[in-house]
Amino acid sequence: MVDLKGQYEKIKQEVNAGIQEVIDSTTFIKGGKVTEFQRHLEEYLQVKHVIPVGNGTDALQIALMALGLQPGDEVIAPTFTFIATAEVIALLQLTPVLVDVDPHTFNITPEAIRRAITPNTKAIIPVHLFGQNAAMEELLQLAAEHKLYVIEDACQSIGARYTFSDGRVVQSGCMGHIGCTSFFPSKNLGCYGDGGALFTNDDVLAKRIRSIANHGMETRYYHDHIGVNSRLDSLQAAILDVKLNYLDSYIDARRRAADYYDRAFAGHPSLEIPVRQPGSEHVFHQYTLQLKHADRNQLIDYLKTKGIPAMVYYPVPVHQQKAYRSDRYRDGDFPVAEQLSASVLSLPMHTELRTEQLDYITQSVLHFF
Ligand SMILES: *Cc1c(COP(=O)(O)O)cnc(C)c1O
């Protein structure tokens, strides 16, 4: 699905030099490298504060902690997502209020959010799934009307720019109150271990987030909040600082691969290609097809015989997961998400896909039908 080795080979000298520099300095935690990467990412995103943390799940948890929500407060999130989005809500004893998604973009919709808002609603977590921003303009308006916080799960969408109707262009994760991302190796900006970050333009929230991520401490050994220990280490920061320079070219490579797939599959009676929303750049963390009247398992098995991996993201929506079943929801409540879980298929998507490989993959898929 990814080719991290091929990608590394092209930047090996720079990455190795960065790693060596950290080892020579022996500042493995909170070194200058972390601050340098933070500054460079702030510049890239045009956001006031980047707060690096241990991983994307921690980023989401810390974001919710920073808002000072109380047990029982409701947080709206899509049911078609990676589990971390809902997990952190439940973990903090807040109430996850799940909603259905759009059948073409796979993203949360303002209409579904509107129907789910109650007097207990405090926040919304839109997930920019597979690398495409949710309908943020309408969503932010709705959130403002109801005085709700917006935490963007931008773990799959770093670098995806969103154009508002007044012409403003804003980076994914920098539109709401707080944005969260992951630097897991296979993410669009991935390190060589775990990593994550929060983004915010709010000085007060930034200060609280920094403190919570560091044991709730502002002055050393004085703890103002109950916090956690979550940090990006200097080795990962050194790797990310190199890779950030290539992020735009990595996004271009993914978009070119997606264009190739689109051309091969457009109009096919059994395949729906991913929809690209005008005004929202798709950075293709995943290239995800919907199968129509086709046996997904047979296709996966067929591709396997050809040496082609294909994955289902995600086979079970959150409301149907064992740990998240509740009296609130029944099977059939979220028909779009349930239908997507049964019909989506993601093909190999990464920065190193060569034309021969794309040709082989598309020919194999078409040959199956
Ligand atoms: C990867 C991911 C996360 C979690 O990131 P980790 O760094 O693995 O903790 C959260 N939400 C979404 C949508 C993701 O894709």
- Ligand 1 atom showing the smallest separation from residue 60 Cα: 10
Of the three residues 195, 219, 244, the one that is the final residue of a domain is: 244
Assign residue 345 the CATH number of its domain.
Answer: 3.90.1150.10
- Cα 83 to ligand 1 centre (Å): 8
73 and 213: one domain? yes
Mutational pocket test of ligand 1: of 155, 191, 192, 318, the residue with most ligand atoms within 8 Å of the beta carbon: 155
3-state secondary structure of 318: helix
Residues 12 and 42 in one domain: yes
Residues 169 and 147 in one domain: yes
Q: What is the pLDDT along the chain (369 residues), one digit of tens a residue?
A: 999 999 999 999 999 999 999 999 999 998 899 999 999 999 999 999 999 999 999 999 999 999 999 999 999 999 999 999 999 999 999 999 999 999 999 999 999 999 999 999 999 999 999 999 999 999 999 999 999 999 999 999 999 999 999 999 999 999 999 999 999 999 999 999 999 999 999 999 999 999 999 999 988 999 988 999 999 999 999 999 999 999 999 999 999 999 999 999 999 999 999 999 999 999 999 999 999 999 999 999 999 999 999 999 999 999 999 999 988 999 999 999 999 999 999 999 999 999 999 999 999 999 999
Q: Distance, CA 60 to ligand 1 centroid (Å)?
A: 9
pLDDT at 102: 97
What's phi and psi for 6, nearest 5 deg? -60, -40
CB 170 within 8 A of CB 262: no
By alpha-carbon position, which residue is closest to atom 2 of ligand 1?
155
pTM: 0.98
Report the CATH number at residue 208: 3.40.640.10
**Which of 244, 277, 310 lies at the terminal end of a domain, its last residue?**
244
276 shares a domain with 230? no
Which is the closest atom of ligand 1 to the Cα of 59?
9
Using left for φ > 0, alpha for ψ between -120 and 50, and beta otherwise, residue 240 falls in alpha
Measured from the CA of 183, which atom of ligand 1 is nearest?
Answer: 7
Q: What's the 185 CA to ligand 1 centre distance in angstroms?
A: 11
Structural domains in the chain (count): 2
Query: What's the CA gap between 132 and 130, in Å, rounded?
Result: 6
Same domain membership, residue 261 and residue 137? no
Final residue belonging to a domain, choices 196, 213, 244: 244
* Ligand 1, pocket-test mutation among 2, 53, 184, 318, most atoms within 8 A of CB: 184
Beta carbons within 8 Å of 212's beta carbon, 6+ residues apart = 62, 65, 66, 225, 227, 228
- Looking at the structure, tell me whether residues 211 and 108 fall in a common domain: yes
Instruction: Specify whether 162 is located in the same domain as 81.
Output: yes
CA-nearest residue for atom 6, ligand 1, is 56
One domain for residues 161 and 266:
no
Domain containing 281 equals 247-368
**Are 240 and 251 within one domain?**
no
Ligand 1 centre to CA of 360 (Å) is: 30
The CA 267 to ligand 1 mean position distance, Å, reads: 32
Task: Verify that 65 and 41 share a domain, yes or no.
Answer: yes
CB 114 within 8 A of CB 61: no
319 and 185, same structural domain? no
Q: Which atom of ligand 1 is nearest to the CA of 127?
A: 13
Examine the domain organization and report whether 262 and 221 are in the same domain. no
Specify the pLDDT at position 31: 83
